[in-house]
Chain A
Amino acid sequence: NAGVMQNPRHLVRRRGQEARLRCSPMKGHSHVYWYRQLPEEGLKFMVYLQKENIIDESGMPKERFSAEFPKEGPSILRIQQVVRGDSAAYFCASSPTRYTPTNEKLFFGSGTQLSVL
C-alpha cells in the first residue's frame, strides 16, 4: 500500500518558467492538501481539494498559483512564471475523508524541493 507519492523530488526552474508539482494521494484517499515550507519555517497551508473540486484555496497566492485534482490522475500544483521567492519545499498530504477532529491523520508525501535560479 503505497503512501502519498510526490514527484519530482527535486525541480529546478529558471525565473519565468512554469513549475508543475504532482501528488498522488494514498489509495482510497479523496482529499488532498498542499503545504509550502520555507527554510527554518513551519508548513504553510495553501489549498485543500477533493476530486474535481477546490474546497479552500485561502492560503494560495492569488496570482501565478493554481491547483487541480482531476477525476483521474494526480493532483497538480502549478506555478506560472516562477520567481526566486517560490523556492521552497512543497508538501502534499492526503486523508480518506474530510478532515475532522476525529479523523486526525494527515499522511504527508516526501515533498518536492523547488529551486528557482
Chain B
Amino acid sequence: QKEVEQNSGPLSVPEGAIASLNCTYSDRGSQSFFWYRQYSGKSPELIMFIYSNGDKEDGRFTAQLNKASQYVSLLIRDSQPSDSATYLCAVKNVGGNDMRFGAGTRLTVKP
C-alpha cells in the first residue's frame, strides 16, 4: 500500500465549477498535511496546509482533513483555466525529516 494515494486523473471540470481533489494516507502518525500545485515542467508550490480535523479556507481553496478516515481533500471553487495543473498531496509525520508525496492528480479546467 502506498503511503499517500491520489487518483491520478485526469480530472476535468468546466470553468466556474468546483474541483474536488482527494488524498488518503496510510500512516496514522501523520501530523501535517499539504497541497502543492505543480505546473508542467515547473517546481511545486505550496497552496494549503492543514493540521486539525475540519475545514480550512483560503480564498477559493478549502482543505478538509479527517484523521479518523485518514483522508484529506482540496476543493477549488470557481475553477479557472489557470488552475489547470497537477496537485500533489503531501503528509509529514511527527518528528520526521521528510515530506511524503502522492503521485498527484492532474486537473484540467476547460473554458
Please state if B43 and A55 are interface contacts (CB–CB under 8 Å).
Answer: no
Cβ proximity bits B23-41 to A, threshold 8 Å, 1 near / 0 not: 0000000011010000000
Report B-chain residues with C-beta under 8 Å of the C-beta of A59.
98
Q: How many residues of A contact B (CB 8 A)?
A: 24
Q: Which of A14-22, A69-77, A80-88, A107-115 contacts B (4 or more CB under 8 A)?
A: A107-115
Within the complex, what minimum Cβ distance (angstroms) separates A21 from chain B? 14
Please state if A42 and B102 are interface contacts (CB–CB under 8 Å).
Answer: yes
The CA of A35 and the CA of B101, in the complex, are separated in Å by 10
Report B-chain residues with C-beta under 8 Å of the C-beta of A111.
43
**A-B interface contact total, Cβ < 8 Å:** 54
Please state if A104 and B49 are interface contacts (CB–CB under 8 Å).
Answer: yes
Report B-chain residues with C-beta under 8 Å of the C-beta of A109.
43
Closest partner residue, chain A, to B93 (CB atom):
A101
**B57 contacts the other chain (CB 8 A):** no
Please state if B51 and A44 are interface contacts (CB–CB under 8 Å).
Answer: no
**B88 contacts the other chain (CB 8 A):** yes
The CA of A44 and the CA of B93, in the complex, are separated in Å by 15
The 7 A-B residue pairs with the shortest CB-CB distance, nearest first, are A45-B98, A42-B101, A108-B43, A56-B97, A43-B101, A42-B103, A48-B97
